[in-house]
Amino acid sequence: MSGDVRGWRVALVPDALINPARGPGAGAPDVLTLLQAQGYGLLQLPPPGNHSLLLAVIADQIAEYAHHGYAVVAVGLRDAAGDGLHWRRLAPLLRHRGVSLPPRHFIRADADVEPEARRLAAFLAGYDLPPEERQRWRT
């Protein structure tokens, strides 16, 4: 793909970690900066509430990535409602679309920021599809 610099990695991220200022993500590592440093794009999960249609739309997008050579991970916020990922609703939607559930990493907003940031950075850096899958799709 000439001139195209996409990173081929996508993270599902709770609203509370994208907009942490006054929510339960306050005190968590700067997830946006860490994702940018690792070259991840992100899909934002909505705040708590019943967002059935929006979650279905997001699941459609995740399925498209998962079926075409993109690495998908999820970054949850421990102790937030549903870990901020709406997992009880999202997981069945993904299974219904034939998607293996992405690996999840959980952040604790009440833990020391630096170790939490290092753990997240290591998780993000360490995950990608196997080489044969990358070779198949990313040409």
Residues that bind another protein (CB under 8 A): 1-10, 15-16, 18-19, 21-24, 26, 32, 35-36, 38-44, 46-54, 56-58, 60-61, 64-65, 68, 70, 80-81
Residue with smaller CB distance to another protein, 1 or 126: 1
**Are 108 and 16 a contacting pair, CB within 8 Å?**
no
Distance, in Å, from the CA atom of 42 to the CA atom of 30, rounded to the nearest integer, reads 14
Least CB distance to another protein at residue 95 (A): 18
Q: Is 11 helix (H, G, I), strand (E, B) or coil?
A: strand
Distance spanning both ends of the chain, measured CA to CA: 7
Q: Measured on CA atoms in the order 58, 61, 66, 67, is the torsion positive or negative?
A: positive
Residue with smaller CB distance to another protein, 48 or 104: 48
Least CB distance to another protein at residue 118 (A): 20
Least CB distance to another protein at residue 90 (A): 14
